[in-house]
Structure 1
């Protein structure tokens, strides 16, 4: 797999990725401040719950950054085509370069990507052959972090013991309910969207099979073509 750094200049992608980082920062700052640390100080939860949240948050932002800068499988300008594979290459009508079949040209990135799945504005990068596993990793960690956040929001009001709010920060004390409602709303949106995307990605991987097209003349098969 290629280790090259890939950076896409796309203002829309920067805005989308900035929104994701804002949501991550919001939950990483306020969930420990409002729920985890106060309950830990009062002995309602163990340190394991606090460390697990920070580890999930770290894995989530790490996978986001890795997926956004990883080379998705950009084709070089002068690729070396093996003689035995020339029949499986074709000319791109947009960049006029040779590419293997199942490659696609990304209009936002401006080049062809091997086994391109789609261009994701949320990571400001294409999802292709070399970074598809990083994208799935990001979806997985995002699901865990969103689920954990929603569980903490629920437990804070319906399961944990009441906190001694005299020692709380004034801003947090006054806006606690609003802060947690925003956190729960963002958690539901992210979890729903990522779960659907993660499911479709896995189904695409597990059901990916070559499709055979047969040319039949009467009762006799005269040729067959494999669509890769």
Structure 2
């Protein structure tokens, strides 16, 4: 079954997503056009570096699109509650709907979300049970792309050989502001911010295992597998799939 697209009607969120897309377009088209491709054409860098840059860029925008349009875990109006789990459900005081514990009501979206972490304006969506893994991917690939851009900017001025097909004085005059300042500044901001956010998210996920009793203790790989919906570690990095809850996580959910 194909995943249904989910959109939040919030002009401020659209503006934030537009800013993120603008930074992505800047680093995906301007930097390769001025640095990556010219040096590849003159044989200064291998084709693998060009391929890796565009793969990282594609995975970054794919994770952004999926995290922004995936249903974070909105609860149905009349959910089916198994009799054995009714003690783990509660009534929301804002929307008057039954919800499992650790669900929260998002005032921006107007819905209760299962395992809601927070509402992120930069993806214009809540981060909940069904798209938390996509948000982690977005943080990770943004770090990779930002670091890649910073390395290219540094190498352009301190490591790469001069381009014989360009007038170096004219190139520096026209593009120094775009390359060295704007690109490096956006790379530093994005890398620093996403690194801090990614560390906070991973710490929150992995700390759940330490809060469980010894009887129900699970390793960190199991906690990440539950968030990502698969035990295949390679699939943790692939945004082009759908998430399926782990069958073994049913009993653990009542303890977190």
Q: TM-score, normalised by structure 2?
A: 0.79
Aligned to 2:101: 101
The answer to whether 1:179 aligns with 2:162 is no
The separation in 1 between residues aligned to 2:149 and 2:166, in whole angstroms, is: 25
Q: Which residue of 1 aligns with 2:57?
A: 57
Q: How many residues align?
A: 213
Q: Which has the larger radius of gyration?
A: 1
Equivalence for 2:240: none
For 2:203 and 2:184, the matched residues in 1 are separated by: 28
Deviation of 1:130 after TM superposition, in Å, equals: 0.6
Indicate whether 1:30 and 2:30 are aligned. Answer: yes
Q: Whole-Å Cα distance in 2 between the matches of residues 167 and 51 of structure 1?
A: 27
Call closer, same or farther: CA 1:2–1:29 in 2, change over 3 Å.
Answer: closer
Runs of 4+ in 1 over 6 A off after TM superposition: none
Q: Which runs of 5+ in 2 are unaligned?
A: 214-253
Aligned to 1:197: 197
Displacement of 1:176 in angstroms is 1.1
Query: Take 1:86 and 1:2, find their aligned partners in 2: how far apart are those partners?
Result: 30
8 Å Cα contact 1:106/1:113 also seen in 2: yes
Give the structure 1 partner of residue 207 of structure 2.
207
Measure how far apart 1:174 and its partner are: 3.9
What SS is found at the alignment partner of 1:99? strand
TM-superposed deviation, 1:3: 3.1
Q: Give 1:15's aligned residue.
A: 15
Structure 1 unmatched runs, 5+ = 213-225
Matched-pair contact (CA < 8 Å) for 1:2–1:130:
no
- Provide closer, same or farther for how the CA distance between residues 71 and 2 of structure 1 changes in structure 2, counting only shifts above 3 A: farther
Query: Are 2:80 and 1:73 aligned?
Result: no
Distance 1:188 1:203 in 2: 22
- Considering fraction of residues, name the structure with more helix: 2
Partner of 1:117: 117
Shift of residue 211 of structure 1? 7.0
TM-score scaled to structure 1, two decimals? 0.88
Higher strand share: 1
Q: What is the rounded CA distance, in whole Å, between the counterparts of 2:2 and 2:29 in structure 1? A: 35
